[in-house]
Amino acid sequence: MRQDLTPEGIDPMDSKGVAPAKTADESSAPAALWRRGADLWDVKGHVERPAKRIPVVEEVDVLVAGGGITGIIAALAAGRLGARTLVVEPFGSLGGNMGPGMFAGGSLHLALKNPEAFPDGLGGIPQEFNERVVDHEERRVGSDYLRDSKTVPYVATRMLEEAGVGILLFSAVVDVVKEGDRLTGILVENKSGTLAIRSRVAVDCTGTADVADRAGAPVVELEENPSMGVFFGIMGVDAERWARARDGRPDLTADDEAWLEEHQVPPQLMPWARQAWEAGEFRIVQIVDGFATLEITLMEPKGDPPSVNCRTRVNGRFHPGDGLALSRIQQQQWCFIYEFVEFMNRYVPGYEEAYLYVVSPYFQARGGKSIESERALTLEDVAAGARFDDVIYTYYDDKRYVEGGVDVPYRMLIPKGVDGLIASGRSAMKRGPQFRQRYSAQQMGQVAGTAAALSALEGVSPRDLDVHLLQETLLAARHHIGPRERLRQLGLTPPTPAREG
């Protein structure tokens, strides 16, 4: 599969698994990428899958595909409304980015830069969930990544059990069941083989619109630069020695600046990164088979004993739904992380005795497939402070102040061409506005779960649901739809202010 990968017919992998660029000076700059992840595919033919009877193991009102943070909130919302609800998750624990992904905080609080955002607290199930994660301490979720990332799956599991929601772990969605244009269930694979689950309404919280895609709904593919990554942690650091070395470094020379620009290397670990690179021992920016780049972000040591939070950054000419590309990246990424720590041991003062103590099993992404919704929110909508009658929560951009925020329409969660399906989280987030912020994913989850339960219980398709009923139900659950004046404009009764949280 790896023959004739470059125009010269040269295998780009060296003995350490580092894929240099095809330029003469072996630059690892992203501009040096010369192929796409899709080029890994070399289909040898096709086989027919034999038809077989598949056991139906569950029949539910609401099926939530994906147990990440938006899926957790969606399942809680549906279960609390009395809908028979099941959440299906491919990992062995819930939480997604906030759980096994170990990015417990992420951008959860970025909206708070907006002076109008959530004067009464985040509200609804998201606020309740976040408060339980920190056990009502006066701190924010994610202020202790590793601690909170272990608490998130526990709290999620207990809250779902309290709401009567079923949980099916170690089970990946592989296909769907349809009657005409209506989704009526999904097929999952686990150690028991292929299983069927019937549903009245499904919520696609897979992060890459897998259910919608398999159901034949049009989706948008992000073909490059999905900003993926893996969290890892380092211990054994002499924080004081590191601080002295960091602060005592000489200013970068013009030659150093030119080298950093040429190789797209951040200055954080200069001069040591350049020394290791030119000695042929380690490249702090690497290329995977000519289609992806690997980089590392290193945080400052904190705690007693000191620990260092790190993450890889993976970009390039591939999309995060390409199984072959992801496998190849992960193969090199593991070695990249381990050899990065070895580089730190050899070159960086204070890291001589440091060691790798945790690596997340969750390869996360900021972009991927998303549905072509009935009404996507655009950057132009954000700039204009768009208003919609079917608003279900308010988006507060962290980079631009817009008075009153921006209405997020319910139609953004509805895929085209398929009934019986709602999308939430990244599956509904077409790249543009920063919807990936955690507060947005959590609020969208409460909307999606509420809408799914109401649709199932009312016997209507999600696209035909009475939006006013949805809005009133959300407000009754203390969900934050928008500022109080906006609610009055819509003829909705603002809830009684709650304490801040």
Query: Could you tell me if 372 and 219 are in contact, meaning their C-beta atoms sit under 8 angstroms apart?
Result: yes
Instruction: Quote the Cα angle for 278-280-282, to 5°.
Output: 95
The DSSP letter of residue 371 is E
Q: Following CA atoms 146, 97, 354, 257 in sequence, which dihedral angle do they give, to the nearest 10 degrees?
A: -130
Residue 174 has a CB neighbour count (10 Å cut-off) of 14
Q: Following CA atoms 139, 140, 146, 151 in sequence, which dihedral angle do they give, to the nearest 10 degrees?
A: 90
Among 492, 459, 461, CA closest to 389: 492
Rounded distance between C-alpha atoms, residue 207 and residue 487, angstroms: 30
With a cut of 70, say whether residue 115 has pLDDT above it: no
pLDDT score at 118? 76
Rounded distance between C-alpha atoms, residue 497 and residue 478, angstroms: 9
Q: Report the pLDDT averaged over residues 290-312.
A: 93
Single-letter residue type at 440: S
With a cut of 70, say whether residue 277 has pLDDT above it: yes
With a cut of 80, say whether residue 168 has pLDDT above it: yes
pLDDT digits (tens, 9 = 90+) for 327-339: 999 999 999 999 9
Level-2 CATH architecture, domain 56-221+369-489: 3-Layer(bba) Sandwich (3.50)
Radius of gyration of the chain (CA): 24
Three-class DSSP category at 491: coil
| DSSP for 279-325, written as a single string | TTS--SSEEETTTEEEEEEEPPPBTTTTEEEEEEEEEES--TT-HHH
DSSP H helical segments within 306-400, as ranges? 323-347, 379-384
Q: Take residue 166 and report the two structure tokens written for it.
A: 């079923």
Among 60, 112, 127, 97, CA closest to 364: 97
User: Looking at 12-21, 248-257, 404-413, 456-465, which range is the least confident one?
Assistant: 12-21
Is the pLDDT higher at 367 or at 340? 340
CA dihedral (60, 65, 66, 70) positive or negative: negative
Question: What's the predicted TM-score (pTM) here?
Answer: 0.89
Q: In which band, very low, low, confident or very high, does the pLDDT at 484 lie, cut at 50, 70 and 90?
A: confident
Most confident by average pLDDT, 259-273, 441-455, 481-495: 441-455
Q: Provide φ and ψ at 332, rounded to 5°.
A: -75, -30
Rounded distance between C-alpha atoms, residue 443 and residue 124, angstroms: 8
Q: In which band, very low, low, confident or very high, does the pLDDT at 378 lie, cut at 50, 70 and 90?
A: confident
The answer, yes or no, to whether the previous bond of 226 is cis (omega within 30 of 0) is: no
Query: Could you tell me if 61 and 84 are in contact, meaning their C-beta atoms sit under 8 angstroms apart?
Result: yes
Three-class DSSP category at 496: coil
pLDDT score at 9? 32
| DSSP for 134-203, written as a single string | TTT-SS-TTSSHHHHHHHHHHHHHHHHHHTT-EEE-S-EEEEEEEETTEEEEEEEEETTEEEEEEEEEEE
With a cut of 80, say whether residue 380 has pLDDT above it: yes
Residue 74 has a CB neighbour count (10 Å cut-off) of 37
Contacts of 20 (CB under 8 A, 6+ apart): 12, 14, 26, 28, 287
Three-class DSSP category at 103: coil
Among 367, 385, 372, 364, CA closest to 226: 367
Residue 14 has a CB neighbour count (10 Å cut-off) of 11
With a cut of 60, say whether residue 95 has pLDDT above it: yes
CA dihedral (102, 107, 108, 109) positive or negative: positive
With a cut of 90, say whether residue 13 has pLDDT above it: no
The fraction of the chain above a pLDDT of 90, given in percent, is 67
Rounded distance between C-alpha atoms, residue 298 and residue 267, angstroms: 11
Rounded distance between C-alpha atoms, residue 254 and residue 95, angstroms: 46
pLDDT score at 111? 58
Q: Which residue has the tokens 């399942």?
A: 75
pLDDT digits (tens, 9 = 90+) for 139-158: 778 777 788 889 999 999 99
Three-class DSSP category at 422: strand
With a cut of 90, say whether residue 238 has pLDDT above it: yes
pLDDT digits (tens, 9 = 90+) for 23-57: 323 344 555 799 999 999 999 999 998 888 999 99
Q: Take residue 77 and report the two structure tokens written for it.
A: 């919302």
Element (H, E) at 457: helix 438-458
User: Looking at 66-75, 90-99, 207-216, 357-366, which range is the least confident one?
Assistant: 357-366
Contacts of 94 (CB under 8 A, 6+ apart): 67, 68, 71, 72, 87, 152, 153, 156, 157, 160, 167, 169
Domain ranges (residues) in the chain: 56-221+369-489, 225-359
User: Looking at 212-221, 266-275, 313-322, which range is the least confident one?
Assistant: 313-322
